[in-house]
Structure 1
């Protein structure tokens, strides 16, 4: 119950284990499809799709700027046919798919929905997330294409579209993770993540939507480093603060709108060579 300090469900992971989705994708769509199938056979319960840098930046694989980067840190997607091949024989209505892509998230979601249509799956049965957090790209990664205002407008477009047409899909995931990996402290990580989320919420509210129409689909991607108690305190404080922001600042009525829904992963910057 509000303010959800201990967790967003009464029994949390004692009743239902967290979703397992390894960040994966490489080379061609066919190679990635084989990897996806293997992961699901091993017991993975969802997919987290890695795209190569040219795809993340909206470049075709034969673009001169894409040279030597095609398929290196994720799979290369140039056409709808590529994405169809990546998800061939995968029941995307029975799993959740995270599309880890930002400035061209709207294009990738459109292609993913087209794949669903070709598989005969209604949009309202599609579950998943697009990362779609372009503001953190200016801070932490650099894979941005458009200036700030048009980029935020695109995010607003996706939230509005998903609220009406793909109600089980999370249109953006705010990434404190990348900010922490760029040198921020845990406190700064949460502060920047919440401020970015507020900017997106304000954009959507300016279109006439009610906060309860979409806040329950907001997701966060947060960092975990080696100090256990610091991480526990960060998550507990984050849940309380986010609930308070949504309830008191944005006047949400639905408790689901107030919960801090997150994925969290081990911070690469804190790892050591074994």
Structure 2
């Protein structure tokens, strides 16, 4: 049974994080919010709380949520790809819709790689990679103190020993890891390209960068390539790109897998 079958409303956009549901409700259906929440809880029996989704805001990309129905506690535990993540959905950024992309990237990591993850959040990329590749060394950097605390707790929950958690602005750590990383993951679609020039210093010759970008949906490759070219000093090759979601009528989110060449051609 679907939500629309119960409510008669075209409500299809919602995320389930642990035992919490976060739903997008257009303004014209606000007066039916409780009906929608009860319908979600009827379809998904383990849900204890339903919150209305608001836009991501602020430096830490956090959504201010409105409780519609149920328990006001915003802390939960979720599972994805064999790892466990504890978080507060009202205080940190986390998107379950990215779980498949995280798995794709983790499967591309080779034994013994050094992996650098700026904008690491509560650690889903870093912990998944560390758990799948125990010979890898993973460094995750996050600025939001609350997210860092959950990141550290999630490292312990998942019993991974090969993850280092750093708190602060990622640019403050670039000089500590010169030419260190075989792979850099940049899951910040709004501004990641602005960090690319500095973060490229962390990568080795022929390192792989996963760059998340908002690009023009009519020419994602051209727009993405231009953004990368304008913000990097090295020769690079686009190995592939994947559409992750639509952001607006003309903008989509993509991840570009690029390889950076630091050595001059002979």
- Normalising to structure 2: TM-score of the pair? 0.34
Which of the pair has the greater relative contact order for Cα pairs under 8 Å at 6+ separation? Answer: 1
Larger strand proportion of the pair: 2
- Normalising to structure 1: TM-score of the pair? 0.33
- The structure with the largest alpha-carbon Rg is 2
Larger helix proportion of the pair: 1
